[in-house]
Structure 1
């Protein structure tokens, strides 16, 4: 199925491929008619894990109608974006991890902006893992990204320099491995499970099928702290919505869910696991970000999430660090009642309302 024919995608949204760096990057794009020679302000939307550009289907049209040129890529390792030099359509655990490091993901977006013919972006908006990429875009290139919206995932700032010491794994690694393992019952943290060689196969070959697994996963059960011996499909099984709840679900219909299941059946999850988790649980890849130690996001920022999303507070002190240190100018901190983690799909009208309000401050 052509991406432009995905169910729930409003008419007028274009699906195309842009050649950047070592990628054939797939993007969804919408823009109102242009009058005169001036370019419309550009807004880039970045999806999270395990998501796609399709996750913004309810946001693209309304933002375009509000006067913005909206571009939504499948990020590196996801969906219909292809690594052209890999020689394989399948991303393997054994592949070189360096293309998935954060500075390279930022370079992907910077290159996309210039390839589109722009020299500035009105706002870079990221959800979940995309929030982290958006934060780093704004921190590294404030001249290019004029504002930033972080959704459903906090940003506590760059890591501190390891003065006089070899780089170490994140401080919480001991807590989420050794300490969780001795609980009753024993547990493990999903970040480190997602960094194992087996995680991709566990999800791709979920016993009930990908559609059932993703329905349970998107219901956001208690999977951040998993049973020690469980796979992710085992951890989420039994926590999904009832048949009646699925039938009433307006933000993710079965027809829309099939899009995710079909795309991930084709690509697997390894690309997303590489960028969202593996490079963040290894000191070898996270240490280069110490180059930006002490640097703040200077551009106007907003945090936007579902009020019922525990992810906002899963890292103790992260909200305070984001609002008090990482973002110099956080204008808004918005929690939308009645929404969980997938807020841009669950409460799209409210998300559009806040995005347009935030963007309008700079026009």
Structure 2
């Protein structure tokens, strides 16, 4: 595959502040928060009866290919419970943009900058801590790194509790240890190891590409290739609305393919195991994502699905935003996460575990829970979460990957439960 590094985004030809307002539910407002690095587009819901107290902040972070808009139904319910609820378009997404409308350098999509983005935004809002940070999909990566860097269940630290959705946390990969010890010293304690490491195929891409009769490739690395963003944004077949309707449908509980067989743990990071996942995760080797989606949607009547949680008007928000921005800037997240830059930033947190009250929430029909073998088990066993902090794994019925939209009411319940575990 023609893997490329993160790319500088094009200059902005339209000032996002001049765009038509989004059609938002009652109780949700949109505005821009100006900082020296980015002008963040946020959605926010404020409690109706503030009294003399300042409400605790719950910050919600979206994934790919999503927007702050994905939290539109959750924010006002959190505000009804007494919280100041905020979601923002992440770097490279939606209406968030540099103050000068110039290019966003590709190297700024690395994890350390995502931490700084979050801290900068929260301080601009007038807060010095996040009561609960909630991350879905790639937003869970941002939420995890912010929590690793500045998370503690007791003040004065920055993150007090955490909800990860649809993207479990396996932990920081180990770095070489005890490779040059002083022979006169006692041997150091044995390091905790990943029980899945021994079975990990170091040549996984070649192995996937050479599966007999059905060669495959991993979607994350496809998203890092040169043509992927253009192939997804600029259709040679169905329009973007049709593609995104299919993409959202196939990863939801509405698609029969997520029920037979149902998502389940994979034994190892090997081609035969990864190939058990649907094409939206492990694609046909010679297909684009558009082609993979079109193939799997061939026997589906898209007009019958998703309208209960993603109406055509809702979907049009995503279509309009990605038509304007393209998928290019968000693809930088994949290019960075599979690059040495991400590994370098991760080294800062070697040996560190998540140490705040937290839950993992996902749809029962979400293969994303299992695409990294051993990730859920790492949280549950304490390999990636400090003892006493993990409040449980919640698999929500009637939801696939888009659990925060498909079953937003259940998500509100779980967020509030975690928020209630914060000691004040």
TM-score by length of 1: 0.90
Residue 106 of structure 2: which of 87, 97, 107 is its match? 97
Question: Structure 1 stretch 25-34 or stretch 280-289: which is displaced more?
Answer: 280-289
Is 1:217 the counterpart of 2:241? The answer is: no
**SS, match of residue 295 in structure 2:** coil
- Bigger drift between 321-330 and 142-151 goes to 321-330
CA contact (8 A) 1:4 1:15 kept: no
Secondary structure in 2 matching 1:289: helix
* Alpha-carbon distance in 2 for matches of 1:305, 1:3: 33
| Cα drift, residue 327 of structure 1 | 1.4
In 2: Cα distance, 1:315 partner to 1:146 partner: 26
- State the 1:243 CA deviation: 4.2
Asked whether 1:183 is paired with 2:198, we answer no
Aligned match of 2:167 in 153, 165, 187? 153
Secondary structure (helix, strand or coil) at the match of 2:383 reads helix
Query: CA deviation digits over 1:195-234, x for unaligned, max 9?
Result: 1111110000122111011011112263111111111101
What is the deviation of 1:358? 2.1
* Partner of residue 356 from structure 2, selected from 285, 288, 299: 299
Query: Pick from 298, 303, 320: which aligns with 2:377?
Result: 320
Structure 1 residues not aligned, in runs of 5+: 166-170
Name the SS of the counterpart of 1:45 in structure 2: strand
Post-superposition CA distance 1:125-165 (Å, at most 9, x none): 00000011111111110110100000000111122124569
Separation of aligned partners in 2, 1:203 and 1:217: 11
What is aligned with 1:208?
238
Deviation at residue 262 of structure 1 after TM alignment: 0.5
Residue 238 of structure 1 aligns to a residue whose secondary structure is helix
- In the TM superposition, what is the alpha-carbon distance from 1:357 to its structure 2 partner? 2.2
Alignment of 1:46-85 (within 5 A): 46-85=61-100
Judged with a 3 Å threshold, the aligned counterparts in structure 2 of structure 1 residues 216 and 134 are, in CA distance, closer, same or farther, namely same
C-alpha distance in structure 2 between counterparts of 1:175 and 1:242, whole Å = 38
Give SS of 1:81's match: coil
- Structure 1: how far apart are the matches of 2:402 and 2:202? 29
User: Which has the larger helix fraction?
Assistant: 1
Question: Are positions 1:144 and 2:202 aligned together?
Answer: no
1:135-284 equivalences under 5 Å are: 135-142=144-151, 143-163=157-177, 174-184=202-212, 185-206=214-235, 207-219=237-249, 220=251, 222-240=279-297, 241-246=300-305, 249-275=307-333, 277-284=334-341
Q: Distance in 2 between matches of 1:43 and 1:3?
A: 27
Q: Deviations over 1:81-129 (max 9, x none)?
A: 01235624xx6xxxx4220001100110011111111111110000000
Task: Measure how far apart 1:266 and its partner are.
Answer: 0.2
The worse-fitting range, judged by mean Cα deviation, of 22-31 and 348-357 is 348-357
The answer for unaligned runs of 5 or more in structure 2 is 1-15, 152-156, 181-196, 252-277
Q: Which has the larger radius of gyration?
A: 2
Summarize the Cα distance change of 1:120–1:243 in structure 2 as closer, same or farther, 3 Å threshold.
closer
**8 Å contact kept, 2:110–2:341:** no
RMSD: 2.1
The answer to whether structure 1 residue 42 and structure 2 residue 71 are counterparts is: no
- Residue of structure 2 aligned with 1:6, choices 11, 22, 28: 22
User: For 1:101 and 1:278, how far apart are their aligned partners in 2?
Assistant: 9
CA contact (8 A) 2:175 2:347 kept: yes
Structure 1 distance, partners of 2:324, 2:301, is 27
Q: CA deviation at 1:175?
A: 3.9
Q: Is the 8 A contact 2:140 2:164 kept in 1?
A: yes
2:342 alignment counterpart: 285
User: Any conservation in 2 of the 1:22–1:85 contact (CA below 8 Å)?
Assistant: no
Give TM-score, length-normalised by structure 2: 0.78
**Alignment coverage as a number of residue pairs:** 349
Instruction: Determine the C-alpha separation between the residues in 2 that align with 1:79 and 1:315.
Output: 28
| Distance 1:349-1:284 versus aligned 2 partners, 3 A rule | closer
